[in-house]
Structure 1
C-alpha cells in the first residue's frame, strides 16, 4: 500500500512532494483543482500495460516539455525477481517511479511513434552505487544491475498492489474487455464448462447430454419469432447454396463458450435487466462489490480509486457506500481507498474515523498553482465539528446561511446574550462596526431605523422574511462571506468557546 506520493508536472499539478496518505483518502475542493488528476497519477503509476498510448499532450502542463514524474513510496518493501541470465535474483523494492518525457525524434523504422518515452521502474530499498545497484548471489559473486533491469514489465512480483480506477464511466469492470475482471470470470466459467463437457464425453463415450439440450432450446426460441420464415435468412441461404455451402443459421447460445454473452443482471418481474439500466450509481456499486469480492477471494490487496462516488446516488446510498469503503479499508489486510468528492454527505460520514485522511485542493490566487493540503479540524470551531457548514465553507469556499446561523447561535449560547441588542453590543465590542441599517416592525408597523453590525443584519434578514419594510434591502453573497469571517474570528479568539 502507498505511504507517500510525489507528483511533478502532471496536468495542473506543478509539484506535490511527499504527500503522506492513509488507508482511506478523500480529496475535496473546487472544480479544476486537479482532484481527478491525483487519482489518475496513482493509476498510471501502477498500470503496467499500454501506458504510453494513454498519455496525451494535454497531460503536460500548459503544453510545455517538462517531464512528468510520479513517485509512489510503499508502506512496506515488496519482493521482486529480476532476470540474471537464465536465472533470477530476488531483491526488495519500496518505490515505484514513473517518468514520462515527450519524444524528441520518431522511433527508427516506424511511420508512427508514441508521443512519449517512459521510464517506469521499481526502485530498490537499499542504496545505489555509482553504476547502479549490487547484491551478492548465492555463490558469493556480485550481481550488478541498473534501472534497465527494473522495468515494471520486466520484473516478477506477486506483491505489487493492483489499482482500479472508477472514473465517471463506471461500467468497465463489469464488461468484457482487455484486463477486465469480468472477462477473467467469463473466461474461467467457459473453461469450466468446456472441461466438464469434455470429461463427460470421455467417461460415457458419447457427446455430453447438455450439448443436445442447447439446440432444443435454441429451436424453441426460434419458433417464437418464426426465424425459419424470416426473409433475410431465407434469401441469405438461397445464396449460400449456390456456393455449395452448408446452411448458415443464427446461433444465440454458444455451445463451446456459453457464457460469452453473459452479463450481470437483476431480475425485474420476468426480465433480466442488465445492471447498466439500473442507473450509473448502482452500476458503480455493483462493479465495486464485484471487484472487491474477487480480490478478497484471491487474498489480493487493491488500490481503489473512485472519482466522485456520490454520482447518481441519493443521500442514504451515499452514506452506505462511504461506510462500506471505510470498512474494507480498515480491515487488517484492507484495501487502500482514494476518492474525490463534492458531497458533504459522503464526506461527513467518513471524517473523524480512524485511518481516514482528507485533503483540500485549491489554487493559489497569486501564482495559480495547485495546492494540496491535509484538512484538519484540530482547531475546530464547534464541539460537534465538522458541520456541513464548515465543510462547504473551508473545502469549497461556499458560504451558506446555515453556517452563519450555526456560528451566530453558538456565540449567543456561549455568551448568554440572546437578545438582539445584547449580541449586537457584544459584536461592536469585538470591533465590528455598526454599518448596516435595520428597521424593525412590530405587528407590521415600522419602528425607527437603527444602525446594527453586519452579522445582526444578516441574521435578521434570514429570520424575518415577513418584514415588508426591509424586503427589498438584501445582503450580497460577499457580505454573507464577510459576516461569516468575522464570526469565525470571534469563535477562534474566544478560547473558552472551543471544545468545552
Structure 2
C-alpha cells in the first residue's frame, strides 16, 4: 500500500485545494519510490511532510498555527489534508486493522478505470479527532467515528526532521529507524535454536521449582500465603514470570562509538550523531527493505527533512545511494538543498517537485514539466528552476546543446546561426595566443560568456567579465531558442501526419 497523492487546503502556506501532489510509487527500480522536494527556504517543502504527519497523527500544536494566513494576516476558517492510498489495500487491512474496523475501511475502497484500488482519507482542523473517508459512490467524504486510532495501525511513518535529535533515531523505539531494524532482526531470531535454548533457560531459572531463585522466592511466597490465609481465607499465592518479548531486551541498549576513546554516542558531536543515525538507513536498506517478497509487511513511509545537515559531501552521496536502494520497494520523501541529491543518472526515476512562493502563497510543480534536454533533468537546470539560480553549468549545457541542434560546431558558424535567429552581437572579445592579445572582435553575449567560462587563462579579458544579470539574460535567450526548436519539431510532425 502506497501514498498515491496528497491534497492540502488552507494548510500553513498553501491557500486552496489546488495544491495537489501525485507521488512516485516503488516498482523495484532504484529511485522509483523516492520523492524529492526542492526549492528555496520557506516555500512549503517541510509543510508537505507535516501535512502527512497531521493526517495520521493529528497535532498537539495550536490550531491557528496550521491555518493559512493571507498577506493581511487574516486566517481562513479551516485547514484540511487529504491522502489517497493505492496498492494492496485489502491485504493491509486484513493483516493490520483491528477486527471491528476492517469492513469500515474495506467498504470505502474504490476502483479507477485502470482497475487500481484506492482509499482516500481526510483530516481537518474543524474536528481533529475525526478521520473522514471518501465515498466514491456519493463523491463525498463521510464522517466515520472511531477511526483515529485504527488508522495508525494500518501504516507506519518515520520522520527525521531537520531539528530531530539524532539520538532519538538511534535509540530503540516503536517508530524509530533503529527500533524497526532491531525488531526485524529480533523477529527472525525468535525462530533459532539459540533463542529456544535461551527461552528454556529463562523458565528453568524463573519458573522451575528446582531452581535456586525459585527456592528463595518460595520462602517469600509461603510467608505471604500464611498471612493472607490467616487474615482473608484459604488461597494459594505464587510468583510467575512471563518471558519477556525479545524486543524488550533492546530498550535499554545504547550505541557506543570508538574513534580512539569508546564512549556513548550521546557524548559525540551533532555531526557524528546524525551520521550514525543516517547510517542506520543504509543498513535498513540492506536488511529490511526487501521483506515485500517474504509476504505482507506493514507499509512504512520514510520522511527526511534536509538529510544533508552535518554530512560531508561523500556522506551525502552514500546516503543518497541508500535511499535509492530503499525506494525500490518503499516510499521515501526527502526535502533537500543538496546538489548531491540532484546529480544522479537515476533522476529520471525519481519524483522531483519544485516549490516556490509567490503572492504570499506556496506553489508546487513537478520538475518533469518542460524539461530542456533529452538527458534532463540536470543539476544546472534544476538549480535554475528551483532556486532561480543561473549557473555556468547550465550555460555550458545550453550552449553545447544548441550547437548540436544547429549542427554548427565552431564559433564562427555558430555565431552566424545565432544572427540568423535574431541574436545580436553586442559584446567585444579579444583572443590571446601564447599570452599575446589579438585584434578584438564582436560576439554575441552567449559566446562572450562561453569564452569566459572556457578560457579562464585569458588575462586580457579579466577586467571585462560578464555580470550575473548578463548570465541570466544569456540563459533565457538560449532557452528561448530551444523552445523554438520544440515548436518547429512539433510543426514538422503535424505536417508529416497530414501529408
The normalised TM-score by structure 2 is: 0.69
Structure 1 residue 463 corresponds to structure 2 residue 454:
yes
Asked if the contact 2:10/2:76 (under 8 Å) is kept, the reply is no
The equivalent of 1:239 in structure 2 is: none
Asked if the contact 1:173/1:180 (under 8 Å) is kept, the reply is yes
Q: Choose which of 47, 53, 70 in structure 1 pairs with 2:81.
A: 70
Larger strand fraction of residues? 1
Q: Choose which of 302, 325, 337 in structure 2 pairs with 1:342.
A: 337
CA displacement 1:118-155 (0-9 Å, x = unmatched): 1431515454599x9xxxxxxxxxxxxx72524312x4
Q: Choose which of 415, 418, 423 in structure 2 pairs with 1:432.
A: 423
Q: In the TM superposition, what are the counterparts of 1:358-397 in structure 2 within 5 Å?
A: 358-364=352-358, 367-376=359-368, 380-397=371-388
Cα offset, 1:75, TM superposition = 0.8
CA displacement 1:324-378 (0-9 Å, x = unmatched): 3233332xxx322111122232233374454x321111123xx34221111116x
CA pair 276-432 structure 1, distance change in 2 beyond 3 A: farther
Cα offset, 1:99, TM superposition = 0.4
Q: Choose which of 58, 62, 68 in structure 2 pairs with 1:61.
A: 68
Structure 1 residue 97 corresponds to structure 2 residue 122:
yes
CA displacement 1:382-427 (0-9 Å, x = unmatched): 3433332222222322111122122223333444434433322221
The equivalent of 2:171 in structure 1 is: 175
For residues 485 and 284 of structure 1, the distance between their equivalents in structure 2, rounded to whole angstroms, comes to 42
Q: Choose which of 41, 62, 70 in structure 2 pairs with 1:31.
A: 41
CA pair 178-335 structure 1, distance change in 2 beyond 3 A: closer
Judge which range, 335-344 or 171-180, deviates more: 171-180
Judge which range, 435-444 or 28-37, deviates more: 435-444
For residues 107 and 479 of structure 2, the distance between their equivalents in structure 1, rounded to whole angstroms, comes to 50
Asked if the contact 2:130/2:143 (under 8 Å) is kept, the reply is no
Higher RCO (Cα < 8 Å, 6 or more apart): 2
For residues 475 and 364 of structure 2, the distance between their equivalents in structure 1, rounded to whole angstroms, comes to 24
Judge which range, 367-376 or 90-99, deviates more: 90-99
Structure 1 residue 201 corresponds to structure 2 residue 206:
yes
Structure 1 residue 147 corresponds to structure 2 residue 143:
yes
Judge which range, 38-47 or 294-303, deviates more: 294-303
Q: Choose which of 21, 24, 38 in structure 2 pairs with 1:22.
A: 24
For residues 410 and 139 of structure 2, the distance between their equivalents in structure 1, rounded to whole angstroms, comes to 74
Helix, strand or coil at the partner of 1:22:
coil
The equivalent of 1:326 in structure 2 is: 324
For residues 118 and 485 of structure 1, the distance between their equivalents in structure 2, rounded to whole angstroms, comes to 47
Q: In the TM superposition, what are the counterparts of 1:59-458 in structure 2 within 5 Å?
A: 59-62=66-69, 64-76=75-87, 77-78=89-90, 79=93, 91-93=106-108, 94-101=119-126, 117-123=127-133, 125=135, 127=137, 147=143, 149-153=145-149, 155=150, 158=153, 160-168=154-162, 169=164, 170-175=166-171, 180=176, 197=202, 199-203=204-208, 204-207=210-213, 261-268=252-259, 271=262, 273-274=264-265, 277=268, 279-288=272-281, 296=291, 299-330=297-328, 334-349=329-344, 351-354=346-349, 356-364=350-358, 367-376=359-368, 380-458=371-449
Q: For structure 1, list consecutive stretches of 5 or more residues without a partner in the other structure.
A: 102-116, 133-145, 209-256
Asked if the contact 1:304/1:337 (under 8 Å) is kept, the reply is yes
Helix, strand or coil at the partner of 1:28:
strand
Judge which range, 192-201 or 13-22, deviates more: 192-201
For residues 454 and 348 of structure 2, the distance between their equivalents in structure 1, rounded to whole angstroms, comes to 35
For residues 458 and 161 of structure 2, the distance between their equivalents in structure 1, rounded to whole angstroms, comes to 49
The equivalent of 2:240 in structure 1 is: none
CA pair 497-458 structure 1, distance change in 2 beyond 3 A: farther
Judge which range, 36-45 or 11-20, deviates more: 11-20
For residues 484 and 402 of structure 2, the distance between their equivalents in structure 1, rounded to whole angstroms, comes to 12
Judge which range, 485-494 or 287-296, deviates more: 287-296
Asked if the contact 2:353/2:364 (under 8 Å) is kept, the reply is yes
Asked if the contact 1:326/1:350 (under 8 Å) is kept, the reply is no
For residues 150 and 126 of structure 1, the distance between their equivalents in structure 2, rounded to whole angstroms, comes to 20
CA displacement 1:288-330 (0-9 Å, x = unmatched): 3576757859922201111122333344443443333233332
Asked if the contact 1:45/1:70 (under 8 Å) is kept, the reply is yes
